[in-house]
Structure 1
Amino acid sequence: MTGSRGSWLACGSAAAPYFESHAGPGGGGTLYKEVESVAIARAWDAVTTDAIVGTDQINVCFWKRVLAVYNGFKPPGSAERTHDQVRKKFGKITKALKRFISIYENQMRTAESGRSEADIKALSMQLFNTEGFPKFSYWEEFLVLRDSQKFRAICEEQSAPGAKRTRLGVSGNYSSSSGSRPFDLNDDVMEEPPSSLS
């Protein structure tokens, strides 16, 4: 890739080509090789860490940028992909990594003294594979994305337990999806009434 970063990230520019279709024989797409899958993870990370671009853009434009960067990272001879195919593949990567990261980080927190990172990796993969998921095959993608703050935010956002709060307005009022009343974060805490048992 040559030129400035902005030139290959410009949505809809000649530097960001995308292909409408590349179905294989029988209408199916071409399977991804591991290096292509890693290139997608690298491309997503590069686009989301660009201070000018980030993730605050329309969906199609974002994925066209990811595709343009992917085209620079993919190995020679790789199949041509559309931005929609890259988006779907990244969705599969994300689904598997969300699950794996949860298992891996739990194993890191609870690891016995003397257990190596290789032991934790092997145990995490074993636990991933035993709960109805196919074999975990995204280790290299994990290494690319595990330190990405934006990727971690996606994983935490989609797996956060409990009710979500919705901001109602600029006043700072929030409501809860559990049906409780709106509240203001700046309200003073009321003192609890004294117990009648004294």
Structure 2
Amino acid sequence: MQTQGLSQIREDVQEEHTPEAVEDREDGGCHPYTQAETTTLFDAWINTSPILGNQQTRKCFWDKVTNVNNAKKPTEAFSRNLKMLPAHFERADRDVKIFCGIYRREAEQYQSGASGSDMLRAALRVFKSDTGKDFKFPDV
């Protein structure tokens, strides 16, 4: 199986080096996002319809997403604000888009009879070799 690098995928996705997905706490520390929090954020983003007002500002849209996210967040999770959520979403979304491109390419190259698990494992290996990090959002 021949795999290509991320050069084709990165044409559409801006590459930035950002720190881990953590946000500042009021007490000076950080609260890392859990997998459940990230999944809740993506769910809130999907379920906040831009159709209700396609002339709305980015701030207005993200205010709605923030309200939905904080209402549905896991009970042990910290409330996030309007500044925190878009920043985390953009970092996570970048990796999700890269992974989706890799998975699609792996699915096209796999032989008949390969299971979905085989393609997922191959895509996870390629993601790690291309980006140097594990893919953290398989549930998104």
- State the TM-score, normalizing by the size of structure 2: 0.77
- Larger relative contact order (CA 8 Å, sep ≥ 6): 2
Match of 2:83, SS state, is: helix
- For structure 1, list consecutive stretches of 5 or more residues without a partner in the other structure: 1-20, 142-198
Q: Distance in 2 between matches of 1:57 and 1:101?
A: 29
- For structure 2, list consecutive stretches of 5 or more residues without a partner in the other structure: 1-22
Cα distance per residue 1:111-166 (max 9 Å; x no partner): 2010011111110011000013310011111xxxxxxxxxxxxxxxxxxxxxxxxx
Q: Which runs of 4+ in 1 moved over 4 A?
A: none
Name the residue aligned to 1:33.
34
Match of 1:65, SS state, is: helix
Q: Distance in 2 between matches of 1:82 and 1:70?
A: 10
Q: Distance in 2 between matches of 1:77 and 1:53?
A: 32
- 5 Å-filtered alignment, 1:32-181, equals 32-48=33-49, 51-53=51-53, 56-141=55-140
Match of 2:32, SS state, is: coil
Deviation at 1:87, TM superposition (A): 0.4
Identity %: 23
Name the residue aligned to 1:23.
25
Task: Indicate how the Cα distance of structure 1 residues 131 and 75 shifts in structure 2: closer, same or farther if over 3 A, else same.
Answer: same
Q: Distance in 1 between matches of 2:86 and 2:61?
A: 10
**How many residues are matched?**
118
C-alpha contact (below 8 Å) 1:24/1:30 kept by paired residues: no
- Which is helix-richer, 1 or 2? 2
Task: Indicate how the Cα distance of structure 1 residues 24 and 120 shifts in structure 2: closer, same or farther if over 3 A, else same.
Answer: farther
Q: Distance in 2 between matches of 1:94 and 1:121?
A: 18
Name the residue aligned to 1:16.
none
Q: Distance in 2 between matches of 1:65 and 1:135?
A: 31
Q: Distance in 1 between matches of 2:88 and 2:46?
A: 14
